[in-house]
């Protein structure tokens, strides 16, 4: 019998009073500063975000997984943290929104996994209130373990000293990031730019890490005990995809892919390969295809002009190859986006609206007797179609996103989290002709 033991490791969760305070930059800078000391740093992201993990992956050089009590589940987070800590010298988790925002919130995740909390506070235009704000947030719930405070957008060394001395003795000072456009991370309607689009991202992170290290000794966070997950038959993904090859679209237009989803497919026995709908003229030979979300609306010219890819996708559809199209993937399969022609496999048209069209964690029992699968939606797209939805997802506010089954295509604005129900996820890549 193999005895699995609990493991201790320094760890913290980076949060803030609100969105826009600089959590991603400070998390990346702190992770890189520790990495520069020769430490093996593993980073995670709270919530179902795709973009922030890309930045943290650049900072650490390692894949970044999501922790979300709603979409992923408590046990999934427990297992991923425990797996990471086998080789990590320090764990850093970037929160989502403000510390107590959302249900579940970053605070809920911190308390569930006993993660000490570091606050990032935008200190521009702030002096002694910095200490009051930090102590108020970190003392709001007694179960919160304070790890310290980091000041962002600091105006000068004197300003940093003022902020530092405003903190009560029990709160550690974890440094300051100067107000400098050289560190800024550009954003668009869905959040930050993709890491690959920021050509000098590594240099920005390195500069921020050096500035942060110059302002503080950057002590490691408190030790945390990571509990060994209970391994049962039900927690091991079934080998439902042995012998199957799944080809995944991955390029600038199709890039919203949870690393855990790739792991899940491979753990079920699938061979995974990738292709670029923007640049490739043919599809790789595969048993099923997956077009994840991303930014097809920013690449309409390349999509409309790549008629060879359109023909290849149509041939796969006509051959009854299963095709999963999520969010931007679904948009690309319809007839037009913002009036520009796209692949045309789904009747209907998409437009990018000025206001958000969908947001939040959802669940769906897409197939009978197979339970729910966790998912997330965040989009400005609107799909106007004569197709009738096969089912709708459920959210805590009622009915959620439509799910369309059209021949061998499963299409929806949802992004599925495969590990929340591997057996159902495997069925997304199979098709039985009626």
Q: Active-site residue among 46, 255, 327, 334?
A: 327
- CATH fold for domain 237-427: Rossmann fold (3.40.50)
* Predicted pLDDT at 186: 72
Q: Mean pLDDT, consecutive 10-residue segments, the chain of 434 residues? A: 74 96 95 97 96 95 96 94 96 97 95 97 95 96 96 95 95 93 71 74 93 93 90 76 97 96 97 98 98 96 97 98 98 97 97 93 86 94 96 90 96 97 95 72
Q: Give the Cα separation of 46 and 7 in Å (integer).
A: 21
* Predicted pLDDT at 189: 59
Q: Which residues pair with residue 46 across a beta bridge? A: 67
* Predicted pLDDT at 4: 59
* Predicted pLDDT at 191: 61
* Predicted pLDDT at 2: 47
Q: Beta strands 293-294 and 254-256: pairing type?
A: antiparallel
Q: Is the dihedral of CA 85, 87, 89, 92 positive or negative?
A: negative
* Predicted pLDDT at 329: 98
Per-domain residue ranges of the chain: 7-226, 237-427
Side-chain half-sphere exposure of 335, counting CA atoms within 13 A = 8
Q: Do the two domains 7-226 and 237-427 of this chain adopt the same fold?
A: yes
CATH of 7-226, one of 3.40.50.300, 2.40.160.10, 3.90.45.10, 3.10.20.30: 3.40.50.300
* Predicted pLDDT at 200: 86
* Predicted pLDDT at 368: 74
Cis, peptide link before residue 104, omega less than 30° from 0: yes
* Predicted pLDDT at 370: 85
* Predicted pLDDT at 137: 97
Mark whether 350 is an active-site residue.
no
- 20 sits in the region (left: phi over 0; alpha: psi -120 to 50; else beta) called left
* Predicted pLDDT at 398: 84
* Predicted pLDDT at 8: 96
pLDDT in tens, 100-135: 999 899 999 999 999 999 999 999 999 999 999 999
């Amino acid at each position: 019998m193999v005895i699995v033991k609990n493991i201790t490791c320094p760890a913290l969760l980076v949060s803030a009073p609100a969105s826009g305070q600089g959590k991603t930059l400070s998390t990346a800078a702190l992770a890189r500063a520790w990495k520069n000391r020769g430490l093996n740093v593993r980073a995670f992201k709270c919530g179902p975000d795709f973009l922030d993990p890309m930045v943290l992956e650049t900072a650490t050089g390692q894949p970044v997984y999501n922790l979300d009590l709603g979409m992923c589940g408590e046990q999934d987070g427990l297992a991923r943290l425990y797996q990471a800590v086998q080789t990590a010298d320090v764990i850093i988790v970037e929160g989502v929104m403000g510390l107590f925002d959302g249900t579940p919130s970053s605070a809920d995740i911190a308390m569930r996994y006993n993660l000490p909390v570091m606050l990032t506070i935008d200190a521009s235009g702030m002096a002694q209130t910095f200490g009051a704000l930090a102590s108020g947030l970190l003392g709001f719930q007694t179960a919160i373990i304070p790890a310290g405070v980091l000041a962002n957008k600091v105006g000068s060394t004197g300003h940093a000293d003022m902020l530092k001395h405003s903190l009560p003795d029990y709160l550690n000072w974890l440094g300051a990031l100067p107000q400098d456009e050289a560190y800024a991370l550009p954003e668009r309607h869905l959040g930050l730019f993709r890491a690959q689009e920021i050509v000098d991202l590594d240099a920005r992170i390195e500069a921020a890490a050096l500035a942060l290290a110059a302002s503080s000794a950057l002590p490691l966070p408190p030790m945390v005990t990571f509990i060994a997950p209970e391994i049962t038959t039900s927690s091991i993904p079934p080998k439902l995809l042995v012998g199957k090859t799944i080809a995944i679209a991955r390029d600038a237009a199709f890039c919203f892919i949870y690393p855990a989803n790739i792991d899940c497919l491979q753990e079920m026995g699938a061979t995974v390969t990738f292709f670029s709908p923007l640049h490739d003229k043919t599809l790789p030979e595969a048993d099923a295809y997956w077009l994840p979300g991303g930014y097809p609306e920013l690449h309409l010219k390349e999509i409309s002009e790549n008629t060879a890819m359109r023909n290849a996708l149509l041939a796969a559809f006509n051959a009854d190859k299963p095709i999963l199209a999520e969010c931007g993937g679904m948009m690309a399969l319809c007839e037009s986006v913002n009036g520009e022609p796209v692949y045309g496999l789904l009747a209907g048209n998409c437009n990018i609206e000025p206001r958000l069209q969908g947001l939040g964690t959802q669940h769906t029992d897409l197939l009978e007797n197979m339970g729910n699968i966790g998912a997330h939606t965040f989009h400005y797209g609107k799909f106007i179609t004569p197709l009738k939805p096969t089912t709708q997802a459920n959210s805590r506010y009622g009915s959620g996103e439509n799910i369309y089954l059209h021949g061998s295509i499963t299409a929806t604005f949802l992004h599925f989290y495969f590990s929340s129900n591997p057996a159902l996820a495997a069925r997304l890549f199979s098709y039985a002709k009626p």
